[in-house]
């Protein structure tokens, strides 16, 4: 489309391609809802008003709002490939995502980023990326790749790259690690943003973190923490995912003064939650239900993230903007009826429009290197007490407690009476057979085991279980699938989901993924598991950047001390 032609359409000198009439247009600039028509030409909004048109569609007095933007998401964490992800969230009104591909980058490095960029092409929505800042997240685990500043530099000029993704290595920032600082400085040189990841950071450490050039945070869980960060000039992405639910606690910080610096994000959200509740539309709906003004909640899903990321053609319904429009019958119930991207109808009534095709698949390298015969899961009982990871409901943070060791035949073993289960992390990138071993409380399993090749951030194989035989059965299933999730009991597999794309994503559609994950959750519940989404909880227990206690392939890790610690004590 030539700009001159859009100007002519805006002046009414040539017909627009599409005129959406009888709309109640949500103007996020003024905070007003105004009746009118929307003229669209070449995928852009030509103007608001009456225009000669090649085609006219009445919105029947429904609301027209800008397409929703997810400010921070890991597509891989839906366990869906990019095409399936798009077809899962687009009917919810999410027309733009800013994705951090650090999951696949931790497995495949630059090749993983290239894969995601390639699959983002020709999709019926806007997919942008932040470069993974921490591959690996720390040196305390084994990842499939190492991405230093020089590795990332050539990608910063790519039009789909908006900046540097969540800087989880806050000790590296505070200690002015040369490579960490170089990554930040390279990003700022390109006038792009640097996202943060700073749970609980406060005072002078927060000041130092921001002084490095970091702009945002999505790990804030408490109102007082958010207010301190806002006062220091930080943008806050309020997260409501499957594993971490922070919206209710942060609603009190949403005021007319803070609103321009607030956005919504899902971070990690599983398919069944998206199908059942929605995506960004669910966050907006939940916020409105908690008392947030609908216009404010919508701006946090549209205008504010667009401005933060410099996406100047997105986030509003106004002349010259990309015609990404969500049609609603009610601003409070916020049920999405239809979705337009670049002026094209792409979804109606919760489903993709049948005319929207799927781009050709992109090949992805194999990412599973485990020799099962080398795995030893036993824990010699060389102590009377053990440090135990303790799950915290609906949060990514964990607790840490000391429990007496149950011993049998000279080995430390699980104790289901006290919900003290075995947790293992098996390295899967280099075939070393290295296995971290520990204990976890909170799953409630009475028998069997769960295993997964999704284990943030290095994505080694993680498993929890009552006995070694079932843990090995579940791990074997994951390895033989080339990656995936499995539930096992009595030495056999009860449920599974294959994730052959880097051991992170399925090559199935959203409905099939949802069907398998629901079967997995049912199977886990049948074993006594009391967590609604145990695989989401399991996937974060290897992440050595969120307090307090984690397990990596190199052993038990105390995040607060930022050091490995002994599992057993005398």
Q: Where are the domains of the chain?
A: 1-66+317-351, 67-316, 372-569
Q: Residues 99-124: what's their mean pLDDT?
A: 97
pTM above 0.85, yes or no: yes
pLDDT for residue 474: 98
Question: What proportion of the chain, given as a percentage, has pLDDT over 70?
Answer: 100
Residue 21 pLDDT > 80: yes
Q: For 341-359, give one letter per residue: b (16+ CB within 10 A) or e.
A: bbbbbbbeeeebbeebeee
- Whether 1-66+317-351 shares its CATH topology with 67-316 is answered no
pLDDT for residue 475: 98
* Displacement of CA 506 from its chain's centroid (Å): 16
* Displacement of CA 215 from its chain's centroid (Å): 18
Give the sheet arrangement for strand 44-48, strand by strand. Answer: 44-48, 32-41, 18-27, 56-66, 325-328, 336-341, 344-348, 351-352
Judge contact between 244 and 268, C-beta under 8 A.
Answer: yes
pLDDT higher at 560 or 264:
264
Strand partners, 493: 488
Strand partners, 489: 492
Residue 1 pLDDT > 80: no
Q: Which CATH architecture has domain 1-66+317-351?
A: Roll (2.30)
pLDDT for residue 393: 85
- Structure tokens given for 558: 């105390």
pLDDT for residue 267: 95
- The rounded distance, in Å, linking the Cα atoms of 331 and 317 is 16
List, for residues 482-540, the tens digit of each pLDDT value. Answer: 999 999 999 999 999 999 999 999 999 888 998 999 999 999 999 999 998 899 899 99
pLDDT for residue 23: 98
Lowest mean pLDDT among 317-321, 404-408, 497-501, 533-537: 533-537
Judge contact between 250 and 230, C-beta under 8 A.
Answer: no
pLDDT for residue 272: 85
Q: Is 481 helix (H, G, I), strand (E, B) or coil?
A: coil
pLDDT for residue 396: 80
Judge contact between 218 and 70, C-beta under 8 A.
Answer: no
pLDDT for residue 171: 87
pLDDT for residue 333: 92
Q: What is the mean pLDDT of the chain?
A: 96
Q: Would you place residue 315 in the very low, low, confident or very high pLDDT band (cuts 50, 70, 90)?
A: very high
Strand partners, 440: 389, 421
Distances (CA, A) of 123 to 63, 82, 327, 356: 25, 9, 20, 9
Q: Would you place residue 112 in the very low, low, confident or very high pLDDT band (cuts 50, 70, 90)?
A: very high
- The rounded distance, in Å, linking the Cα atoms of 310 and 164 is 14
Fold of 67-316: TIM Barrel (3.20.20)
pLDDT for residue 297: 98
Q: For 501-539, give one letter per residue: b (16+ CB within 10 A) or e.
A: bbbbbbbbbbeebbebbeebbebbeebebebebbbbbbb
Q: Residues 317-322: what's their mean pLDDT?
A: 98
Task: Please measure the distance between the N-terminal and C-terminal CA atoms of the chain and give it in whole angstroms.
Answer: 73
Q: For 188-218, give one letter per residue: b (16+ CB within 10 A) or e.
A: beeebbbbbbbbbbeeeebebbbebbbbbbb
Question: What proportion of the chain, given as a percentage, has pLDDT over 90?
Answer: 91
- The rounded distance, in Å, linking the Cα atoms of 149 and 184 is 9
List, for residues 351-400, the tens digit of each pLDDT value. Answer: 999 999 999 999 998 899 999 999 999 999 999 999 999 999 878 889 99
- Mention every residue, 6+ apart, whose C-beta is less than 8 A from residue 201: 170, 209
Judge contact between 102 and 135, C-beta under 8 A.
Answer: yes
Which helix or strand (DSSP H or E) is residue 286 part of?
A: helix 280-289
Of 111, 201, 203, 204, the closest CA to residue 216 belongs to 201
Rg of the Cα atoms in the chain: 24
pLDDT for residue 546: 85
- The rounded distance, in Å, linking the Cα atoms of 521 and 534 is 7
- What DSSP letter does each residue of 405-419 carry, written as one string? PEEETTEEE-BGGGT
């Amino acid at each position: 489309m030539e700009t001159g032609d859009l100007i002519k359409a805006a002046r009414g000198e040539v017909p627009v391609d599409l005129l959406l009439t009888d709309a109640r247009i949500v103007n996020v600039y003024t905070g007003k809802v105004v009746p009118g028509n929307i003229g669209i030409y070449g995928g852009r909004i030509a103007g608001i008003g009456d225009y000669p048109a090649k085609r006219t569609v009445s919105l029947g007095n429904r609301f027209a709002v800008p397409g929703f933007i997810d400010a921070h998401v890991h597509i891989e964490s839906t366990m869906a490939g990019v095409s399936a992800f798009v077809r899962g969230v687009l009917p919810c009104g999410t027309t733009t995502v800013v994705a951090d591909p650090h999951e696949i980058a931790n497995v495949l490095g630059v090749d993983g980023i290239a894969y995601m960029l390639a699959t983002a092409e020709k999709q019926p929505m806007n997919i942008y990326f932040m470069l993974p800042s921490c591959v690996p997240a720390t040196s305390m685990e084994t990842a499939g790749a190492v991405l230093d500043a020089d590795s990332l530099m050539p990608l910063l000029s790519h039009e789909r790259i908006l900046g540097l993704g969540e800087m989880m290595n806050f000790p590296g920032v505070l200690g002015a690690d040369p490579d960490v600082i170089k990554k930040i400085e390279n990003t700022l040189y390109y006038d792009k943003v640097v996202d943060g990841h700073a749970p609980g950071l406060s005072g002078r450490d927060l000041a130092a973190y921001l002084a490095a050039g970091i702009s945002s945070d999505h790990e804030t869980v408490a109102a007082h923490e958010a207010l301190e960060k806002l006062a220091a000039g930080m943008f806050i992405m309020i997260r409501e995912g499957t594993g971490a639910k922070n919206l209710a606690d942060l609603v009190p910080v949403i005021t007319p003064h803070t609103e321009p610096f607030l956005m919504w994000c899902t971070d990690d959200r599983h398919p069944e939650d998206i199908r059942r509740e929605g995506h960004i539309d669910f966050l907006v709906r939940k916020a409105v239900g908690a008392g947030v003004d609908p216009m404010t909640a919508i701006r946090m899903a549209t205008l504010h993230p667009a401005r933060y990321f410099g996406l100047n053609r997105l986030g509003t319904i106004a002349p010259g903007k990309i015609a990404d429009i969500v049609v609603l019958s009610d601003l409070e119930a916020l049920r999405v009826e239809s979705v337009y991207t670049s002026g094209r109808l792409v979804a109606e009534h919760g489903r993709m429009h049948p005319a929207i095709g799927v781009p050709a698949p992109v090949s992805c390298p194999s990412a599973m290197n485990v020799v099962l015969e080398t795995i030893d899961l036993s824990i010699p009982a060389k102590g009377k007490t053990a440090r135990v990871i303790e799950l915290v409901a609906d949060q990514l943070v964990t607790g840490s407690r000391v429990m007496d060791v149950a011993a049998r035949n000279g080995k430390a073993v699980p104790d289901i009476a006290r919900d003290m289960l075995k947790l293992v992390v098996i390295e899967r990138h280099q075939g070393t057979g290295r296995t971290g071993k520990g204990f976890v409380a909170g799953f409630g399993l009475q028998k069997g085991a769960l295993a997964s090749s999704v284990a943030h951030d290095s994505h080694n194989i993680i498993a929890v279980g009552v006995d070694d035989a079932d843990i090995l059965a579940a791990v074997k299933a994951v390895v033989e699938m080339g990656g995936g999730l499995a539930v096992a009991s009595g030495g056999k597999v009860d449920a599974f989901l294959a994730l052959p794309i880097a051991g992170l994503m399925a090559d199935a559609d959203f409905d099939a993924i949802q069907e398998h994950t629901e079967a997995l959750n049912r199977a886990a519940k049948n074993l006594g598991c009391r967590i609604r989404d145990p695989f989401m909880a399991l996937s974060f227990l290897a992440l050595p950047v969120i307090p307090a206690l984690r397990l990596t392939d190199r052993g038990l890790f105390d995040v607060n001390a930022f050091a490995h610690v002994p599992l057993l004590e005398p």
